[in-house]
């Protein structure tokens, strides 16, 4: 059985007493006096608040617009100053309100226009409602992404500096008032639309596009959206399609998907504005992965017709890495001489030279995984084989 407390004058007084205010709490009150260095605010049951000189100087625009009996919000910075008043801050309250507004924008995933105030090698410094934020290079939309030769950081910075002073539409993707962190994305505004657009594509589809950028790891391809392609009924509409950046989507051909042969520099195979046809090999989120080599016959599937285990072949050394040397036997087929053949990497580089041709023996062939192991035929062994052939 619930115990019923006896009603007393003291209990009634406690129930009627207001909750005590706290430091950093935002409170509302009515302006009761506006002086040159002090402004008094009636905080009701909390008592009287005061805004002092420095706060007045830092918020002159707000102060000038204040009127008697007007209701305002401020943050408590001191519960009782030397004169017994609750000290208030307009600036802190406005800052708090700003972070709350930014958080609301992030939760609603709403677009917001921001001015670019500075650039660095990693991205752009922006300002939203008086708070500085960061727009990483990776979060720029594809039309603004700086595709720079050799990924030169100074060239990237030069491209990013072109945005300073301009405004971009972005969405807040990360926010922390405690860490004073504000991260925005231009790319995120396109993600929802891109995911919808990508529903029109399937893995295995063929697409036509134009190379929009070539970088160390591959090439970007600009593709007209299916909807835009279906609306080419008039010259005006065709012109709109090419001028509107919202009518295109971008895919990526990774360096490993350009050709069956090993490629060091995609720029040797693909150029900006080059028209290509590619195959979709992957769709993940808002990413479209494309392949050129998927349109070509896999040379490894018929390798048995050309190369056999124990066969002696000639090949050109094309590249070193810590686990061996790549050797090109023909346009499409590469083999690997493992570093263990030489003992260590230093000895390997002494025995072989880049771009030089040597004789090798095929140790193994694995067509399914595109692997061929080679063994270097040393000069002494080559002489013995030649003598044996002559004796025969």
Q: Count other C-beta atoms under 10 Å from residue 78's C-beta.
A: 15
| 322 and 375 fall within a common domain | yes
pLDDT of residue 236: 35
Same domain, 289 and 308: no
Structural domain contains residue 45: yes
Is 177 exposed, middle or buried, given 0-12, 13-18 or 19+ CB atoms closer than 10 A?
middle
Q: Is residue 64 part of a domain?
A: yes
- pLDDT at position 203 is 93
Q: Concatenated DSSP letters for 99-168?
A: HHHHHHHHHHT--EEEEEEEEETTEEEEEETTEEEEEEGGGS-TTTS---GGG-HHHHHHHHGGGTT-EE
Q: Are residues 346 and 280 in the same domain?
A: no
Let me know whether 250 and 227 are in one domain. yes
The residue from 272, 295, 318 where one domain ends is 295
Say yes or no: 159 and 131 in one domain.
Answer: yes
8 lies in a domain?
Answer: no
**Are 315 and 386 within one domain?**
yes
**CATH value at residue 90:** 2.40.50.140
For residue 366, give the 3-state DSSP assignment: strand
In a domain, 164, yes or no: yes
- Residue 243 and residue 270 in one domain: yes
Residue 336 domain boundaries: 299-391
For the chain, first and last CA: distance in Å?
Answer: 114
Do 86 and 123 belong together in one domain?
no
How far is C-alpha 54 from the geometric centre of its chain's CA atoms?
A: 42
* Domain assignment of residue 102, yes or no: no
- pLDDT tens-place values along the chain, 392 residues long: 444 444 555 455 444 555 678 888 878 888 888 888 888 989 888 888 888 877 777 777 677 777 888 887 788 888 888 888 888 887 766 677 778 788 888 888 888 899 999 999 889 999 888 788 999 988 888 778 887 766 677 888 888 999 999 999 898 999 887 788 899 998 888 777 777 778 888 999 999 999 988 888 899 998 877 554 443 333 333 333 333 344 678 889 999 999 988 888 899 899 989 999 999 999 887 788 999 999 998 888 889 889 999 999 999 999 998 899 999 999 889 999 999 999 999 999 999 999 999 999 999 999 988 999 999 988 665 544 544 555 54
pLDDT at position 80 is 84
- Among residues 322, 327, 329, which one has the least CA distance to residue 352? 327
Measure the CA–CA gap between 246 and 182, rounded to whole angstroms. Answer: 27
Q: How many domains does the chain have?
A: 4
- Asked if residue 47 is part of any domain, the answer here is yes
Identify the domain boundary among 95, 117, 134.
95
Residue 11 falls inside a structural domain: no
Buried b (16+ CB within 10 A) or exposed e, 367-380: eeebebbbbbbeee
307 and 341 both lie in a single domain: yes
Same domain, 288 and 213: yes
- Whole-model pTM: value is 0.54
Question: Which backbone phi and psi does 336 adopt, to 5 degrees?
Answer: -130, 130
- Domain match, 291 and 303 both: no
In a domain, 310, yes or no: yes
Which of residues 252, 279, 295 is at a domain's end?
295
Interior CA angle at 341 toward 371 and 344, to 5°? 115
- Is residue 280 within 8 A of residue 204, CB to CB? The reply is yes
User: Are residue 289 and residue 311 in the same domain, yes or no?
Assistant: no
């Amino acid at each position: 059985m619930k115990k019923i407390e006896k009603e007393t004058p003291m209990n009634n007084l406690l129930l009627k007493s207001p909750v005590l205010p706290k430091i950093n709490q935002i409170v509302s009150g009515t302006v009761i006096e506006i002086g040159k260095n002090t402004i008094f605010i009636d905080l009701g049951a909390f008592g009287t608040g005061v805004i002092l000189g420095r706060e007045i100087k830092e918020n002159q625009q707000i102060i000038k617009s204040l009127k008697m009996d007007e209701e305002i919000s401020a943050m408590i910075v001191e519960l009782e100053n030397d004169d017994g008043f609750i000290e208030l801050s307009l600036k802190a309250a406005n800052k708090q309100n700003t972070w709350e507004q930014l958080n609301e924008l992030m939760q609603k995933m709403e677009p917001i226009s921001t001015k670019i105030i500075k650039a660095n090698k990693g991205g752009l410094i922006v300002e939203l409602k008086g708070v500085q934020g960061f727009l990483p290079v990776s979060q720029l939309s594809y039309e603004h992404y700086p595709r720079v030769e050799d990924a030169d950081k100074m060239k990237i910075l030069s491209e990013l500096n072109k945005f300073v002073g301009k405004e971009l539409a972005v969405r807040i993707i990360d926010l922390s008032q405690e860490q004073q962190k504000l991260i925005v994305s231009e790319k995120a505004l396109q993600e929802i639309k891109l995911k919808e657009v990508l529903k029109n594509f399937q893995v295995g589809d063929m697409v036509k596009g134009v190379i929009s950028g070539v970088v160390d790891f591959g090439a970007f391809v600009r593709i007209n959206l299916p909807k835009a392609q279906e609306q080419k009924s008039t010259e005006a509409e065709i012109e709109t399609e090419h001028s509107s950046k919202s009518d295109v989507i971008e895919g990526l051909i990774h360096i490993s998907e350009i050709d069956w042969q090993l490629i060091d520099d995609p720029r040797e195979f693909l150029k900006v504005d080059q028209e290509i046809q590619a195959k979709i090999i992957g769709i993940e989120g808002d990413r479209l992965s494309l392949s050129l080599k998927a349109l070509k016959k896999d040379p490894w599937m018929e390798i048995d017709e050309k190369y056999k285990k124990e066969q002696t072949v000639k090949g050109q050394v094309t590249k070193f890495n810590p686990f061996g040397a790549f050797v090109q036997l023909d346009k499409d087929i590469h083999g690997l001489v493992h570093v263990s053949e030489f003992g260590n990497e230093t000895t390997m580089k002494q025995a072989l030279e880049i771009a030089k041709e040597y004789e090798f023996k095929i140790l193994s062939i694995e067509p399914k995984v595109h692997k061929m192991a080679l063994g270097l035929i040393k000069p002494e062994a080559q002489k013995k084989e030649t003598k044996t052939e002559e004796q025969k």
